[in-house]
Chain A
Amino acid sequence: MKKILLNRDFILFSIILIILIAVGFANPLFVTPKSISDVLTDTSILIILALSQMIVILIRAIDLSVASNLALSGMLISLLSTVHPELPVYYFIALSCVIGTILGVLNGISIAILKVPFIVTTLGTLSIYRGLIYFVSDGKQVYSNEFSEDFLALIHVKFLSLSFLFWLAVVVFIVIYILLNHTRFGRNLYSLGGNPDAAKYIGINENKYIIMAYSLSGFFAGLCGYLWVARYSVASTQIAIGFELTVISACVVGGISVMGGVGTVLGCVLGALLIGLIRNALPAVDISQFWQLAISGAIILLAIIINTKTEQRKEKTIMVEN
């Protein structure tokens, strides 16, 4: 029982519940099923991106280019849809994923083969991908009336009164849960992050895994490219600017250690939910939107301090027992 109470994911879940109850008292409208389902829909893209970022963080790396990747893939398919509105929506989704994956593979090649450190690579591609959007679009926006109906309709499909976005996030959660916990790929990722040298000695090909992790991150960024454009029905050079930091914050709050090899899929989702909840709850309790950034920053700091404190305590107890 004590084990459950001290479990990170459980604590995180409790914090989410407490916030939900507290906000509910201040503004009962916030805890209606309709409003909660809106929060879930609003957080779905963050959940998907946080899960794919987790794969990268597990091997001691970070992908700062996800938001630019998302925006570039989204812009490319939007431009295509204005020229060929007759194409089915699944075609655009697949294409967006393919573009995202290619951009992710480029990151992976630069890191694994050219040996450019991941921070430098993804900082560079963050600018390059973002800059390319201006080139392909001439700096113009694609507005909602320029998309075909089919393109935008899918996002509004509902099942059991929950949105398509939410169910997609659930599917991604299940896929990544299985991938990380029940496949050799996932186990090797954890061991590469936990101890890269040991992992290499037992024959894990580090370069292969780096490229695969980044291509997965790119794949989901591409998927979210479609989702973002369809949800907000606009594609521009500015979409999702700075979102990579929100995604990384979600992972950090969810207990994914940037030192690699530590973190659960459930924790990652809870981290994303907590951040999504706070973003949505602030207006409900009459806190000005201008405070949002400062409060998220404070929460990230608090979360990492608590994370490191608990991790360090564990290390200490091991030393005492010895």
Chain B
Amino acid sequence: MSLIPDKPPFKLLDILYKKEFILFVVLVSILIINSNISPYFLDLYNLIDSTFLFSEKAIIALTMTFVIIARQIDLSVASIIAVSSVVLGYTTSLGYDTWLVLLLTLLSGALCGAFNGAIITKFAIPSIIVTIGTMSLFRGLAYSFLEDSYYNKFPKLVGKLGGGYLFGYIPYAFLTFILLAFVFAFILHKTSIGKKIYSIGNNPDAAQYTGIAVDKYTFVLFTLNGLFSAIAAIFLSGRLSSVRPNIAFGWELEIITMVVLGGVYIYGGSGSILGVVISIFILGMLSFGLGLLNVPGVGIIIFTGLLLILSIGFPSFVRTLRRKNE
């Protein structure tokens, strides 16, 4: 009788074919090219400061990874940032205590996410359409509340979180992202919750039949996504120290790019936190390096778009060719 092992035997060569390995090679090449082109790149302070450019998005990318693995998508995250930032500014202007301000800000984000989740699960509508709607709705609420004015007064703590460093070296936003990444990697890869999220993404109907409360998971994931958008909103408002309704405009696409480039399949069921974290660094170091070379922001936009399409298109094209040859 031959046994079927529940885990394939470990082979060193297999690592070479992993998406994460390819991403890692890309990251290392970017680092090498960058440090050869610009003498300012390999400066520890510069590198640390460059994390300010992506930490807030990266925090949302973690929960977005869960959402996409569960075969959903959330286009409203940037608009939730706008709502939460407005709540942050408004509650500060009312003179509330810092802890209450932060609590209400987080609550506003979670509520927006829960609203998404409720409509998606209750009416069984595809999340892409629901969140296109709430993307306008939430952003619109921020606009109608703030009109053409702005907030620039926040609790001291918020300013410190957004622009400050722990021990004078590590930015709080970056630290939060790294810690959360470990937590999320643990949940996704080491707990039954993670397993359930994968199975929901692979086949929601089958998951339902095996007794997984698919709707409950979906609802919680969207609420979590809203909550994390609010966390990002706190860091971002603190860093910019000014909030207008158009804050974080277009971020939803950048965050989804981070996740998809990290090897998470857009139709759910596969992907890893490690891949997403590497892809976040790739995009961050890429735009930092291009910035040092004085390439304007649009160059980075084009490059990101191309990278996104080619990173998926190239492997699948090679696969198709190989299948034809067989």
Which residues in A have some Cβ–Cβ distance to B below 8 Å? 62, 110, 113-117, 119-121, 123-128, 130-132, 134-135, 139, 245, 248-249, 252, 258-259, 288, 290-298, 300-301, 304-305, 308-309, 312
Q: Are B132 and A259 in contact (CB under 8 A)?
A: no
Chain B 26-45 near chain A by CB (<8 Å), digits 1 or 0: 00000000000000000000
- Tell me if B's interface is mostly helix, strand, loop or mixed: helix
Chain B neighbourhood of A119, CB < 8 A: 73, 128, 266
Q: How far is A115 from B306 in the complex, measured between Cα atoms in Å?
A: 15
Q: Are B133 and A123 in contact (CB under 8 A)?
A: no
Q: Which of B103-111, B139-147, B181-189, B208-216 contacts the other chain?
A: B139-147
Q: Are B316 and A294 in contact (CB under 8 A)?
A: no
Q: Are B309 and A134 in contact (CB under 8 A)?
A: no
Chain A to chain B contacts (Cβ below 8 Å), 14 pairs: A115-B320, A120-B308, A123-B253, A124-B306, A127-B308, A128-B302, A245-B132, A290-B148, A292-B140, A293-B139, A294-B136, A294-B141, A296-B136, A308-B125
Closest 4 A/B residue pairs (Cβ):
A294-B140, A297-B137, A293-B140, A297-B136
CB distance from A281 to the nearest CB of B (A): 16
Q: Are B313 and A116 in contact (CB under 8 A)?
A: yes
Q: How far is A290 from B312 in the complex, measured between Cα atoms in Å?
A: 39
Q: Are A127 and B130 in contact (CB under 8 A)?
A: no
Q: How far is A258 from B253 in the complex, measured between Cα atoms in Å?
A: 20
CB distance from B245 to the nearest CB of A (A): 8
CB distance from A307 to the nearest CB of B (A): 8
Chain B neighbourhood of A258, CB < 8 A: 126, 128-129
Q: Are B305 and A124 in contact (CB under 8 A)?
A: yes
Interface centre among B126, B133, B148 (most CB of A within 10 A): B133
Q: Are A117 and B143 in contact (CB under 8 A)?
A: no
Kindly state whether residue B227 has any CB partner on chain A within 8 Å.
Answer: no
Q: Are A304 and B129 in contact (CB under 8 A)?
A: yes
- Whether A134 touches B298, Cβ cut-off 8 Å, given contacts A110-B309, A120-B308, A245-B135, is yes
Q: Are B296 and A134 in contact (CB under 8 A)?
A: yes
CB distance from B299 to the nearest CB of A (A): 7
